[in-house]
Structure 1
């Protein structure tokens, strides 16, 4: 854990009468990370951020100067992007686009719409023609009978609600080439087959497979392909295994000869988790410690109604403990604690699924200490059931460029949620 997060937590504990519960965002670290990614981006490729991972406005503002655009999957996400920038390029995906979403997307200005089905294509042509607005599209394709990397979230290579099957491409192109369609323009293909892939070599093999298919379709259907969107899916490890190696992946990409193979075609990446996972921490104070049938449970102020990722993915989430000294224990009875034992970290909800980490080995944990869950920048707050049981929301804190780390000078900024 970075030193400044420890200082933030202790400063917050001093400032609050209530138990600590907060998201803490390290925006300078996020900016450093995205700049590092962009600096080794291969030629003819573009880097977009999929905001579903975390649409926090301050995160979007931090990423804005360093990405080529944003990917959204709803009108609400589009509005969040347009709140921070009226001009930045936007990709619009998602399997259930409504007619009013297509209308507002066309009015607001979208760079590319990822078309997921033949019906959606027909609806888009209908809307664009009625509004007399031109738009560019990529056909999202679900590859079949191909070996893809194995991850805990797979969206292609099997029956799926995402994208259209390969054998639908010919019909989609025929619809686009109909003489009555003069507003919706085919630009290429979109693939997003999986999420959270840890293996750079397998990911590169997958992209080479994509390109083989695109080259086959170009010849078969006699179409020009200006863009291939290969999605995201770069993995973040929540245990002791290594995360996706972006540097190795980009090196493999450059060695593959892809630069020459692409020709005039541009290739888009649209990662989410890999960009933001490490930029935020979720801090929750220990409210109670109690034994039950030879196990110890730490009840935290917070839970999966704030940070649902570990329950959603079924993993033990990485954490650190920040000890709070006895001077801040305000009661005249003994402060409960565990030394050199194991403890299961759970939240304050009336649900057995409200669990962060099972049987964690710890040196010391006491009521009043703060547990800080690392890698909480992606798929954490926004996928959580915030209003279940009506507990108060956490604080949202941000370290921004120029803020100092000394506890006496830390400035804690809180957003209303």
Structure 2
């Protein structure tokens, strides 16, 4: 057995609580890159403000799942075809990441006789909070560096086909500290206020990105969303100008990680050079997140009493185990050196917090192994 199991009831309950805690003017979009499965999108569509997409393919999925949902588009390297698809499909805003991309948006908008609303994504100078991934404050491919911002704004003023309505600021990914995140947003506020004064503009929309994290090594450690929302309310109410009409967030991982599990059968147990290995049906071609982030992903053992082979049933007792998959590479590792009380061949491992960046980022067809099942428990109607 090998499957992803999603609890859509749990997903809906969690996201409703997240959205309900947001203060006035703040809106939550779902970043589809975390998981674009249609049942998840259909569950989220009535709850979130809309979807954030990063490709024409994600846009098509969003429209198929929820035709009327508002959509915004990001991504560091947009083609003219993707920009045209976005404008034709009524995407609300494009997040522009370079001066050349702004030229592309203007050219496509002119060709289609449209006016494109854009946010300029700026790669700010740090420092920023500690997080799993840095998106700004150091060399990355994301956004317009601050010294280039005047040229981007000048270009926007020179074309009637592009209207800059604000800024997109997303600097970290998987931050676990609510206090640090609030401090970062205050830094964003100060930057935008300075740009308004320097360039004589008024920001209408401020997109503060996502970046709120999940601790995969300690599932009991949680981002303090209630405390963050309270602090955000004070920050927005007391220090954000009223003409900043819309404050957007675009979370992915934080919304959907907990709703999914990856279940996989233990095919064999053996020792090599002092290490006990659990070989499972599946691996990083199904669930690449652990090897991508170089962490040992949490799992529980689900005992299965049935054993159909007329052969000894291997098992491990109390020893640390390393969980590996069926691929022909030593990098196919899901968890390493994890103590378990008891596990046997034929038991099932349930990897928790697998709802985000699991199946979506995996190399599905390496070795042409079968894909896992995708099972969605529907939202109750009562």
Q: TM-score, normalised to structure 1's length?
A: 0.89
> Aligned partners of 2:366, 2:39: CA distance in 1, in Å?
26
**Which of residues 208, 211, 223 is equivalent to 2:189?**
211
CA deviations 1:95-118 (Å, max 9, x no partner) are 110011111111111111000000
State whether structure 2 residue 75 is matched by structure 1 residue 94. yes
The answer for the alignment partner of 1:333 in structure 2 is 311
Tell which deviates more after alignment, 26-35 or 234-243: 234-243
> Aligned partners of 1:281, 1:47: CA distance in 2, in Å?
24
Distance verdict in 2 for CA 1:79–1:257, change over 3 Å: closer
Alignment of 1:190-209 (within 5 A): 190-209=168-187
The answer for the alignment partner of 1:263 in structure 2 is 242
> Aligned partners of 2:346, 2:49: CA distance in 1, in Å?
44
Q: 1:140–1:189: 8 Å Cα contact kept in structure 2?
A: yes
CA deviations 1:16-70 (Å, max 9, x no partner) are xxxx000000000000000110111111111000000000111000000000011
Q: Give the Å deviation of 1:199.
A: 0.4
User: How many corresponding residue pairs?
Assistant: 380
The answer for the alignment partner of 2:227 in structure 1 is 248
Secondary structure at the residue paired with 1:365? strand
State whether structure 2 residue 279 is matched by structure 1 residue 279. no
> Aligned partners of 1:217, 1:42: CA distance in 2, in Å?
25
> Aligned partners of 1:257, 1:140: CA distance in 2, in Å?
20
> Aligned partners of 1:185, 1:216: CA distance in 2, in Å?
20
Secondary structure at the residue paired with 2:240? helix
Q: Give the Å deviation of 1:332.
A: 2.1
The answer for the alignment partner of 1:7 in structure 2 is none
Q: 1:188–1:227: 8 Å Cα contact kept in structure 2?
A: yes
Distance verdict in 2 for CA 1:127–1:402, change over 3 Å: closer
Q: 2:286–2:372: 8 Å Cα contact kept in structure 1?
A: yes
Secondary structure at the residue paired with 1:256? helix
CA deviations 1:227-276 (Å, max 9, x no partner) are 01010000100112613211111111123354552312111000100000
Secondary structure at the residue paired with 1:104? helix
Unpaired runs of 5+ residues, structure 2, are none
The answer for the alignment partner of 2:294 in structure 1 is 314
**Which of residues 128, 131, 135 is equivalent to 2:109?**
128
Q: Give the Å deviation of 1:354.
A: 0.5
Alignment of 1:349-360 (within 5 A): 349-360=327-338
> Aligned partners of 1:365, 1:358: CA distance in 2, in Å?
15
State whether structure 2 residue 24 is matched by structure 1 residue 46. no
Tell which deviates more after alignment, 277-286 or 146-155: 146-155
The answer for the alignment partner of 2:198 in structure 1 is 220
Q: 1:116–1:140: 8 Å Cα contact kept in structure 2?
A: yes
Alignment of 1:144-155 (within 5 A): 144=125, 146-155=126-135
The answer for the alignment partner of 1:25 in structure 2 is 6
State whether structure 2 residue 61 is matched by structure 1 residue 80. yes
> Aligned partners of 2:317, 2:127: CA distance in 1, in Å?
48
> Aligned partners of 1:320, 1:383: CA distance in 2, in Å?
23
Q: TM-score, normalised to structure 2's length?
A: 0.97
Secondary structure at the residue paired with 2:165? strand
The answer for the alignment partner of 1:412 in structure 2 is none
Q: Give the Å deviation of 1:403.
A: 9.2
The answer for the alignment partner of 2:122 in structure 1 is 141
The answer for the alignment partner of 2:326 in structure 1 is 348
CA deviations 1:344-371 (Å, max 9, x no partner) are 1111111111001111101100000000
> Aligned partners of 1:262, 1:301: CA distance in 2, in Å?
55
CA deviations 1:315-363 (Å, max 9, x no partner) are 00000000011xx211222211111222111111111110011111011
Q: Give the Å deviation of 1:170.
A: 1.2
> Aligned partners of 2:370, 2:187: CA distance in 1, in Å?
48
Q: 1:44–1:259: 8 Å Cα contact kept in structure 2?
A: no
